[in-house]
Amino acid sequence: MKKLFVIHADLGAAKNIIKNVLLLNNSVHWPVKPVANRLQYLIEMYQQCSWETWLDCKYKLKTYQNDGIGMALGDVSCQGLLPLNDQMTRILEAKNYAIDLFDHTLATQLNTQPYVKLLGIIPTTDLGLA
């Protein structure tokens, strides 16, 4: 079984950037229609965004519910991940999977699973929280 990469951080761009970097690798499940060039897709997608539409662009890559993963208030829930649902099990048999996650309790629970690799992003200065 491949790995579920969980990028855990407070609000901010860091977890989204890291998730997008992981999505560039063909060994990671691509969440939207198949494309020939993942980097080109991301560049074009973000070039079309404005401050007003940035969240819409960001959520184009958060299709977790299509894979049976629950969402609560815009964040991943444990539904479909604890335990893994059949659809996620099939995906992880073929590809790695990357999610960004705000919920610290869920990150701690997921970190106990053998199929999870957790990356926690924690600012070390007050400026890092700005």
**Ranges of each domain in the chain:** 4-121
Please say whether the beta carbons of 5 and 96 come within 8 A.
Answer: yes
Cα separations (Å) of 106 from 26, 43, 67, 100?
A: 27, 31, 18, 12
- What is the spatial distance between Cα 89 and Cα 67, in angstroms, rounded to a whole number? 10
Give 50-98 pLDDT, tens digit per residue. Answer: 777 777 777 788 889 999 999 887 788 889 999 999 999 999 999 999 9
- What is the spatial distance between Cα 79 and Cα 84, in angstroms, rounded to a whole number? 8
Higher pLDDT, residue 47 or 10: 47
**What's the confidence (pLDDT) of residue 128?**
63
Give the other-Cβ count within 10 Å of 126's Cβ.
Answer: 7
The length of the chain is: 130
**What's the confidence (pLDDT) of residue 72?**
85
Higher pLDDT, residue 96 or 123: 96
Higher pLDDT, residue 16 or 85: 85
- The residues with which 75 forms a beta bridge, in sequence order, are 72
